[in-house]
Amino acid sequence: MKIAFVYDAVYPWIKGGAEKRIYEIGTRLAVRGDEVHLFGIKWWDGEDVIEYDGMVLHGVCAAQELYVNSRRSIPGTLVFSLKLVWHMFREKFDVIDVSVFPYFSCFSVKFVSVFRRTPVVFTWHEVWGDHWYEYMGRLGFFGKLVERMVLFLSSNIVVVSEMTKKDLRSPGLDGNKIRLVPNGVDLKKISIVTPSDEACDVLFAGRLIREKNVDVLLEAVVQVREDMPDVKCCIIGTGPEKKQLEGLAASHGLVDDGNIRFFDFMEYDEMIARMKSSKVLVLPSSREGFGMVVVEAFACGVPVVTVAEAHNAAAELVDVGCGFVVKLDARAIAGAVRELLGDEELRYRMGKAAEEAGRGYDWDGIVHELRELYEELI
Protein backbone atom coordinates (compact mmCIF):
# COMPACT_ATOMS: atom_id res chain seq x y z
CA MET A 1 0.00 0.00 0.00
CA LYS A 2 0.96 3.61 -0.53
CA ILE A 3 0.04 5.42 2.68
CA ALA A 4 0.19 9.12 3.57
CA PHE A 5 0.24 10.54 7.10
CA VAL A 6 -0.49 14.22 7.69
CA TYR A 7 0.61 16.15 10.77
CA ASP A 8 2.50 19.43 10.95
CA ALA A 9 4.83 18.34 13.80
CA VAL A 10 7.34 15.64 12.82
CA TYR A 11 9.30 13.30 15.10
CA PRO A 12 12.16 13.45 16.09
CA TRP A 13 12.42 17.18 15.44
CA ILE A 14 9.29 17.69 17.54
CA LYS A 15 8.72 15.25 20.38
CA GLY A 16 5.16 14.50 21.45
CA GLY A 17 2.67 11.65 21.54
CA ALA A 18 1.03 12.25 18.14
CA GLU A 19 4.39 12.67 16.39
CA LYS A 20 5.82 9.53 18.02
CA ARG A 21 2.72 7.53 17.07
CA ILE A 22 3.12 8.39 13.38
CA TYR A 23 6.85 7.63 13.48
CA GLU A 24 6.42 4.24 15.14
CA ILE A 25 3.55 3.20 12.88
CA GLY A 26 5.14 4.60 9.71
CA THR A 27 8.53 2.96 10.18
CA ARG A 28 6.93 -0.42 10.90
CA LEU A 29 4.68 -0.21 7.86
CA ALA A 30 7.73 0.62 5.76
CA VAL A 31 9.56 -2.45 7.08
CA ARG A 32 6.54 -4.55 6.04
CA GLY A 33 6.92 -3.27 2.46
CA ASP A 34 4.42 -0.39 2.37
CA GLU A 35 5.37 2.94 0.82
CA VAL A 36 4.94 5.49 3.60
CA HIS A 37 4.84 9.28 3.15
CA LEU A 38 4.55 11.93 5.86
CA PHE A 39 3.48 15.50 5.11
CA GLY A 40 4.56 17.98 7.77
CA ILE A 41 6.40 21.22 8.39
CA LYS A 42 9.99 21.17 7.10
CA TRP A 43 11.91 20.96 10.37
CA TRP A 44 15.03 19.54 8.75
CA ASP A 45 17.81 21.13 6.69
CA GLY A 46 18.38 20.39 3.01
CA GLU A 47 15.85 19.22 0.45
CA ASP A 48 12.11 19.61 0.94
CA VAL A 49 11.55 15.89 0.33
CA ILE A 50 13.86 13.41 2.05
CA GLU A 51 13.96 9.76 3.04
CA TYR A 52 14.10 9.14 6.78
CA ASP A 53 14.03 5.75 8.50
CA GLY A 54 12.27 4.15 5.53
CA MET A 55 9.66 6.90 5.11
CA VAL A 56 9.43 9.77 2.63
CA LEU A 57 9.10 13.09 4.44
CA HIS A 58 7.54 16.05 2.62
CA GLY A 59 8.35 19.52 3.96
CA VAL A 60 5.16 21.43 3.21
CA CYS A 61 6.32 24.83 4.52
CA ALA A 62 9.27 26.39 6.35
CA ALA A 63 9.91 25.71 10.04
CA GLN A 64 8.08 28.02 12.43
CA GLU A 65 7.16 28.45 16.07
CA LEU A 66 4.35 26.05 16.91
CA TYR A 67 3.40 28.06 20.00
CA VAL A 68 2.90 31.81 20.34
CA ASN A 69 2.09 33.11 23.84
CA SER A 70 1.67 29.51 25.04
CA ARG A 71 -0.96 28.79 22.36
CA ARG A 72 -0.77 26.99 19.04
CA SER A 73 -0.06 29.47 16.25
CA ILE A 74 -3.22 29.85 14.13
CA PRO A 75 -1.46 31.65 11.22
CA GLY A 76 1.13 28.86 11.14
CA THR A 77 -1.47 26.12 10.92
CA LEU A 78 -3.32 28.00 8.18
CA VAL A 79 -0.15 28.36 6.09
CA PHE A 80 0.59 24.65 6.48
CA SER A 81 -2.96 23.67 5.53
CA LEU A 82 -3.13 25.87 2.43
CA LYS A 83 0.22 24.67 1.08
CA LEU A 84 -0.65 21.07 1.93
CA VAL A 85 -3.23 20.85 -0.90
CA TRP A 86 -0.69 21.42 -3.67
CA HIS A 87 1.86 19.05 -2.12
CA MET A 88 -0.65 16.22 -1.76
CA PHE A 89 -2.09 16.63 -5.24
CA ARG A 90 1.30 15.71 -6.68
CA GLU A 91 0.91 12.05 -5.60
CA LYS A 92 -1.81 9.41 -5.49
CA PHE A 93 -2.23 7.35 -2.33
CA ASP A 94 -4.21 4.28 -1.37
CA VAL A 95 -5.15 5.79 1.98
CA ILE A 96 -4.49 9.02 3.93
CA ASP A 97 -4.31 9.17 7.73
CA VAL A 98 -4.62 12.71 9.10
CA SER A 99 -4.16 13.66 12.75
CA VAL A 100 -7.12 15.89 13.46
CA PHE A 101 -5.51 18.56 15.64
CA PRO A 102 -4.92 21.39 14.68
CA TYR A 103 -7.98 20.89 12.45
CA PHE A 104 -7.38 23.07 9.38
CA SER A 105 -5.33 20.40 7.62
CA CYS A 106 -8.39 18.12 7.80
CA PHE A 107 -10.24 20.36 5.34
CA SER A 108 -7.27 20.25 2.96
CA VAL A 109 -7.05 16.47 3.18
CA LYS A 110 -10.79 16.08 2.64
CA PHE A 111 -10.60 18.29 -0.46
CA VAL A 112 -7.75 16.19 -1.88
CA SER A 113 -9.47 12.92 -1.01
CA VAL A 114 -12.68 13.86 -2.82
CA PHE A 115 -10.91 14.77 -6.04
CA ARG A 116 -8.45 11.90 -5.82
CA ARG A 117 -11.11 9.44 -4.58
CA THR A 118 -8.82 8.39 -1.77
CA PRO A 119 -10.16 7.03 1.56
CA VAL A 120 -9.20 9.05 4.63
CA VAL A 121 -8.75 8.03 8.26
CA PHE A 122 -9.24 10.84 10.77
CA THR A 123 -7.18 10.12 13.89
CA TRP A 124 -8.53 11.91 16.96
CA HIS A 125 -6.13 12.26 19.89
CA GLU A 126 -8.49 14.30 22.06
CA VAL A 127 -11.66 16.42 21.99
CA TRP A 128 -11.52 19.93 23.42
CA GLY A 129 -15.20 20.92 23.51
CA ASP A 130 -15.79 23.68 26.09
CA HIS A 131 -12.06 23.77 26.90
CA TRP A 132 -11.78 26.09 23.92
CA TYR A 133 -13.25 28.88 26.08
CA GLU A 134 -10.54 28.36 28.69
CA TYR A 135 -7.91 28.34 25.96
CA MET A 136 -9.07 31.37 23.94
CA GLY A 137 -11.72 33.17 25.98
CA ARG A 138 -14.75 34.27 23.97
CA LEU A 139 -12.90 33.45 20.76
CA GLY A 140 -13.05 29.84 21.89
CA PHE A 141 -16.47 29.72 20.20
CA PHE A 142 -14.71 29.57 16.84
CA GLY A 143 -12.34 26.83 17.98
CA LYS A 144 -15.25 24.74 19.20
CA LEU A 145 -17.14 25.39 15.95
CA VAL A 146 -14.20 24.26 13.80
CA GLU A 147 -13.80 21.15 15.93
CA ARG A 148 -17.47 20.26 15.42
CA MET A 149 -17.17 20.87 11.67
CA VAL A 150 -14.23 18.48 11.47
CA LEU A 151 -16.16 15.89 13.47
CA PHE A 152 -18.96 15.77 10.92
CA LEU A 153 -16.40 15.96 8.11
CA SER A 154 -14.74 12.82 9.48
CA SER A 155 -15.71 9.56 7.79
CA ASN A 156 -13.44 6.80 9.11
CA ILE A 157 -12.62 7.71 12.71
CA VAL A 158 -9.80 6.30 14.82
CA VAL A 159 -9.35 7.32 18.46
CA VAL A 160 -6.42 6.57 20.75
CA SER A 161 -8.35 6.29 24.03
CA GLU A 162 -11.74 5.37 25.45
CA MET A 163 -12.05 8.91 26.78
CA THR A 164 -11.76 10.41 23.30
CA LYS A 165 -14.25 7.87 21.99
CA LYS A 166 -16.71 8.87 24.71
CA ASP A 167 -16.18 12.59 24.04
CA LEU A 168 -16.83 12.12 20.32
CA ARG A 169 -20.22 10.52 20.80
CA SER A 170 -22.95 12.94 19.81
CA PRO A 171 -26.35 12.98 18.07
CA GLY A 172 -25.97 11.79 14.50
CA LEU A 173 -22.63 10.03 15.05
CA ASP A 174 -22.68 6.25 15.36
CA GLY A 175 -20.26 5.31 18.15
CA ASN A 176 -19.92 1.81 16.71
CA LYS A 177 -18.12 3.30 13.70
CA ILE A 178 -15.36 4.75 15.88
CA ARG A 179 -12.32 2.45 15.99
CA LEU A 180 -10.10 2.47 19.09
CA VAL A 181 -6.44 1.94 18.18
CA PRO A 182 -4.28 3.07 21.12
CA ASN A 183 -0.73 4.31 21.22
CA GLY A 184 2.00 1.90 22.17
CA VAL A 185 5.62 1.28 23.10
CA ASP A 186 8.58 -0.50 21.59
CA LEU A 187 8.94 -3.25 24.19
CA LYS A 188 11.97 -4.86 22.54
CA LYS A 189 13.87 -1.60 22.32
CA ILE A 190 13.06 -0.58 25.88
CA SER A 191 14.10 -3.99 27.23
CA ILE A 192 17.70 -3.58 26.04
CA VAL A 193 18.26 -0.03 27.33
CA THR A 194 20.55 0.12 30.36
CA PRO A 195 19.40 2.33 33.26
CA SER A 196 21.23 5.65 33.62
CA ASP A 197 24.01 6.00 36.19
CA GLU A 198 22.29 9.22 37.31
CA ALA A 199 19.34 8.06 39.36
CA CYS A 200 16.45 10.33 40.31
CA ASP A 201 13.45 9.79 42.53
CA VAL A 202 10.75 11.57 40.52
CA LEU A 203 10.61 12.00 36.76
CA PHE A 204 8.46 14.14 34.47
CA ALA A 205 8.83 13.93 30.68
CA GLY A 206 6.72 15.95 28.28
CA ARG A 207 6.08 19.25 26.58
CA LEU A 208 6.27 22.16 29.00
CA ILE A 209 2.89 23.76 28.40
CA ARG A 210 0.24 24.98 30.84
CA GLU A 211 -1.94 21.88 30.59
CA LYS A 212 0.88 19.68 31.93
CA ASN A 213 0.74 21.51 35.32
CA VAL A 214 4.43 21.06 36.02
CA ASP A 215 4.17 24.02 38.41
CA VAL A 216 1.97 21.85 40.64
CA LEU A 217 4.61 19.12 40.54
CA LEU A 218 7.26 21.63 41.65
CA GLU A 219 5.07 22.66 44.58
CA ALA A 220 4.66 18.97 45.45
CA VAL A 221 8.45 18.51 45.45
CA VAL A 222 8.70 21.41 47.91
CA GLN A 223 6.39 19.50 50.25
CA VAL A 224 8.15 16.15 49.78
CA ARG A 225 11.47 17.86 50.58
CA GLU A 226 10.22 18.66 54.08
CA ASP A 227 10.41 14.93 54.95
CA MET A 228 12.98 13.87 52.36
CA PRO A 229 15.53 16.70 52.01
CA ASP A 230 17.57 14.85 49.37
CA VAL A 231 14.65 14.10 47.02
CA LYS A 232 15.66 14.48 43.37
CA CYS A 233 13.25 15.32 40.54
CA CYS A 234 14.15 15.43 36.84
CA ILE A 235 12.07 17.49 34.41
CA ILE A 236 12.64 16.46 30.78
CA GLY A 237 11.12 18.63 28.08
CA THR A 238 10.93 22.00 26.39
CA GLY A 239 8.09 24.40 25.71
CA PRO A 240 6.74 27.90 26.31
CA GLU A 241 6.49 27.41 30.09
CA LYS A 242 10.11 26.39 30.64
CA LYS A 243 11.56 29.74 31.74
CA GLN A 244 8.69 30.35 34.13
CA LEU A 245 9.10 26.88 35.63
CA GLU A 246 12.85 27.34 36.03
CA GLY A 247 12.18 30.61 37.83
CA LEU A 248 9.61 28.97 40.12
CA ALA A 249 12.01 26.15 40.99
CA ALA A 250 14.80 28.64 41.70
CA SER A 251 12.54 30.75 43.93
CA HIS A 252 11.96 27.71 46.15
CA GLY A 253 15.66 26.87 46.27
CA LEU A 254 15.02 23.59 44.48
CA VAL A 255 17.75 24.18 41.89
CA ASP A 256 20.52 25.35 44.25
CA ASP A 257 19.81 22.47 46.63
CA GLY A 258 19.90 19.92 43.83
CA ASN A 259 16.27 18.83 44.23
CA ILE A 260 15.31 19.76 40.66
CA ARG A 261 17.17 19.37 37.38
CA PHE A 262 15.83 20.50 34.03
CA PHE A 263 16.76 18.75 30.79
CA ASP A 264 15.80 19.54 27.21
CA PHE A 265 14.20 16.76 25.16
CA MET A 266 16.82 14.08 24.61
CA GLU A 267 17.35 11.05 22.42
CA TYR A 268 14.78 8.35 23.10
CA ASP A 269 17.25 5.80 24.49
CA GLU A 270 18.65 8.36 26.93
CA MET A 271 15.17 9.31 28.10
CA ILE A 272 14.28 5.64 28.65
CA ALA A 273 17.59 5.11 30.50
CA ARG A 274 16.71 7.95 32.88
CA MET A 275 13.18 6.61 33.26
CA LYS A 276 14.54 3.17 34.20
CA SER A 277 16.72 4.75 36.88
CA SER A 278 13.75 6.66 38.38
CA LYS A 279 11.48 5.51 41.18
CA VAL A 280 8.22 7.13 40.08
CA LEU A 281 6.87 8.99 37.06
CA VAL A 282 4.54 11.91 37.77
CA LEU A 283 2.18 13.20 35.06
CA PRO A 284 0.02 15.96 36.55
CA SER A 285 -1.58 16.85 33.21
CA SER A 286 -5.16 18.07 33.06
CA ARG A 287 -5.38 17.20 29.34
CA GLU A 288 -4.00 14.03 27.77
CA GLY A 289 -5.44 12.34 24.71
CA PHE A 290 -3.62 9.17 25.74
CA GLY A 291 -0.47 9.63 27.83
CA MET A 292 2.22 7.71 25.96
CA VAL A 293 4.80 8.47 28.64
CA VAL A 294 2.68 6.42 31.06
CA VAL A 295 2.95 3.20 29.06
CA GLU A 296 6.65 3.92 28.51
CA ALA A 297 7.02 4.06 32.30
CA PHE A 298 5.05 0.82 32.58
CA ALA A 299 7.43 -0.87 30.14
CA CYS A 300 10.31 0.32 32.35
CA GLY A 301 8.65 -1.10 35.47
CA VAL A 302 8.12 2.35 36.98
CA PRO A 303 4.88 3.14 38.86
CA VAL A 304 2.98 6.27 37.85
CA VAL A 305 1.24 9.09 39.70
CA THR A 306 -1.28 11.01 37.59
CA VAL A 307 -4.34 13.14 38.27
CA ALA A 308 -8.10 12.60 38.12
CA GLU A 309 -9.00 15.37 35.70
CA ALA A 310 -12.01 15.13 33.37
CA HIS A 311 -9.89 15.26 30.20
CA ASN A 312 -6.85 13.30 31.33
CA ALA A 313 -7.05 10.00 29.46
CA ALA A 314 -3.80 8.89 31.13
CA ALA A 315 -5.81 8.29 34.30
CA GLU A 316 -7.60 5.44 32.47
CA LEU A 317 -4.25 3.67 32.03
CA VAL A 318 -3.23 3.67 35.68
CA ASP A 319 -4.95 0.73 37.35
CA VAL A 320 -4.96 0.39 41.14
CA GLY A 321 -1.87 -1.78 41.16
CA CYS A 322 0.26 0.33 38.80
CA GLY A 323 0.36 3.62 40.69
CA PHE A 324 -1.95 6.32 42.01
CA VAL A 325 -4.58 8.61 40.51
CA VAL A 326 -4.99 11.64 42.78
CA LYS A 327 -6.47 15.13 42.78
CA LEU A 328 -4.69 17.86 40.81
CA ASP A 329 -3.29 19.26 44.01
CA ALA A 330 0.30 19.62 45.25
CA ARG A 331 -0.53 18.05 48.61
CA ALA A 332 -2.19 15.00 47.03
CA ILE A 333 0.66 14.47 44.57
CA ALA A 334 3.23 14.89 47.34
CA GLY A 335 1.39 12.30 49.45
CA ALA A 336 1.45 9.71 46.67
CA VAL A 337 5.11 10.38 45.92
CA ARG A 338 6.05 10.10 49.61
CA GLU A 339 4.22 6.78 49.86
CA LEU A 340 6.05 5.30 46.88
CA LEU A 341 9.47 6.66 47.80
CA GLY A 342 9.10 5.56 51.42
CA ASP A 343 7.88 2.02 50.81
CA GLU A 344 10.30 -0.04 48.71
CA GLU A 345 8.10 -3.14 48.80
CA LEU A 346 5.06 -1.19 47.54
CA ARG A 347 7.14 0.42 44.81
CA TYR A 348 8.48 -2.97 43.70
CA ARG A 349 4.99 -4.52 43.63
CA MET A 350 3.50 -1.63 41.67
CA GLY A 351 6.48 -1.62 39.32
CA LYS A 352 5.92 -5.29 38.49
CA ALA A 353 2.19 -4.67 37.92
CA ALA A 354 3.03 -1.72 35.68
CA GLU A 355 5.45 -3.86 33.66
CA GLU A 356 2.74 -6.46 33.14
CA ALA A 357 0.25 -3.79 32.02
CA GLY A 358 2.78 -2.39 29.55
CA ARG A 359 2.90 -5.69 27.64
CA GLY A 360 -0.54 -4.93 26.23
CA TYR A 361 0.70 -1.90 24.30
CA ASP A 362 3.29 -3.32 21.92
CA TRP A 363 3.52 -1.32 18.69
CA ASP A 364 3.70 -4.40 16.44
CA GLY A 365 0.20 -5.57 17.38
CA ILE A 366 -1.18 -2.04 17.10
CA VAL A 367 0.28 -1.59 13.61
CA HIS A 368 -1.22 -4.90 12.50
CA GLU A 369 -4.67 -3.75 13.64
CA LEU A 370 -4.35 -0.37 11.94
CA ARG A 371 -3.14 -1.87 8.67
CA GLU A 372 -6.18 -4.16 8.62
CA LEU A 373 -8.35 -1.06 8.84
CA TYR A 374 -6.52 0.53 5.90
CA GLU A 375 -7.05 -2.61 3.84
CA GLU A 376 -10.78 -2.56 4.58
CA LEU A 377 -11.04 0.96 3.13
CA ILE A 378 -9.26 0.31 -0.14
Q: What does each C-alpha distance from 292 to 157, 301, 314, 338 come to in angstroms?
A: 20, 14, 8, 24
Average pLDDT over residues 10-29: 94
The pLDDT of residue 315 is: 95
CA dihedral over 20, 23, 26, 29, signed as positive or negative: negative
The pLDDT of residue 137 is: 84
Burial of 266 (0-12, 13-18, 19+ CB in 10 A): middle
**Cβ proximity of 235 and 266 under 8 Å:** no
Average pLDDT over residues 57-68: 89
Average pLDDT over residues 87-112: 94
Give the chain's mean pLDDT: 93
DSSP assignment of 237-276, as one string? --STTHHHHHHHHHHTTTTTTTSEEEE----HHHHHHHHH
User: Model confidence over 174-215: pLDDT tens digits?
Assistant: 666 799 999 999 999 999 999 999 999 999 999 999 999 999
pLDDT class for 70, splitting at 50, 70, 90? low
Average pLDDT over residues 316-329: 93
User: Model confidence over 282-307: pLDDT tens digits?
Assistant: 999 999 989 999 999 999 999 999 99
Q: Which of these, 280, 234, 227, lies nearest to 259 by C-alpha position?
A: 234
The pLDDT of residue 130 is: 81
Q: What does each C-alpha distance from 288 to 164, 281, 336 come to in angstroms?
A: 10, 15, 20
As a whole number of angstroms, the distance between CA 217 and CA 214 comes to: 5
Instruction: Determine which helix (DSSP H) or strand (DSSP E) holds 91, and give its type and residue range.
Output: none
Instruction: Determine which helix (DSSP H) or strand (DSSP E) holds 159, and give its type and residue range.
Output: strand 156-159
pLDDT class for 66, splitting at 50, 70, 90? confident
- Percentage of the chain exceeding pLDDT 70: 98
As a whole number of angstroms, the distance between CA 344 and CA 8 comes to: 43
DSSP bridge partners of 98 = 6, 122
pLDDT class for 218, splitting at 50, 70, 90? very high
Instruction: Determine which helix (DSSP H) or strand (DSSP E) holds 212, and give its type and residue range.
Output: none
**Cβ proximity of 254 and 260 under 8 Å:** yes
As a whole number of angstroms, the distance between CA 197 and CA 199 comes to: 6
As a whole number of angstroms, the distance between CA 221 and CA 249 comes to: 10
DSSP assignment of 95-138, as one string? EEEEE-TTSHHHHHHHHHHHHHT--EEEEES---TTHHHHHHGG
Query: Could you tell me the CATH superfamily of domain 187-361?
Result: Glycogen Phosphorylase B; (3.40.50.2000)
| pLDDT-wise least confident of 28-37, 136-145, 194-203, 265-274 | 136-145
pLDDT class for 144, splitting at 50, 70, 90? confident
SS3 state at 39 = strand
The pLDDT of residue 101 is: 86
The CA angle 290-293-294, to the nearest 5 degrees, is 75
As a whole number of angstroms, the distance between CA 109 and CA 88 comes to: 8
| pLDDT-wise least confident of 117-131, 248-262, 350-364 | 117-131
Q: Which of these, 331, 303, 321, lies nearest to 202 by C-alpha position?
A: 303
The pLDDT of residue 291 is: 92
pLDDT of 224 > 60? The answer is yes
| pLDDT-wise least confident of 146-155, 241-250, 279-288 | 146-155
Average pLDDT over residues 138-144: 85
DSSP state of 230: T
Query: Do β-strands 71-72 and 67-68 pair in parallel, antiparallel, or remain unpaired?
Result: antiparallel
pLDDT of 172 > 60? The answer is no
Contacts of 344 (CB under 8 A, 6+ apart): none
Query: Could you tell me the CATH superfamily of domain 2-184+362-377?
Result: Glycogen Phosphorylase B; (3.40.50.2000)
The pLDDT of residue 170 is: 64
3 state SS for 301-352: CCCEEEECCCEECHHHHCCHHHEEEECCCHHHHHHHHHHHHHCHHHHHHHHH
**Domain residue ranges of the chain, discontinuous segments joined by +:** 2-184+362-377, 187-361
Do 187-361 and 2-184+362-377 have the same topology in CATH?
yes
Q: Which of these, 65, 68, 165, lies nearest to 125 by C-alpha position?
A: 165
Contacts of 113 (CB under 8 A, 6+ apart): 96, 119, 120
CB neighbours (10 Å) of residue 139?
11
User: Per-residue b/e over 71-104, b at no fewer than 16 CB within 10 Å?
Assistant: ebbeebbebbbebbbebbeeeebbbbbbbbbbbb
Compute the CA torsion angle 34, 39, 42, 45 (nearest 10 deg).
20
The pLDDT of residue 368 is: 94
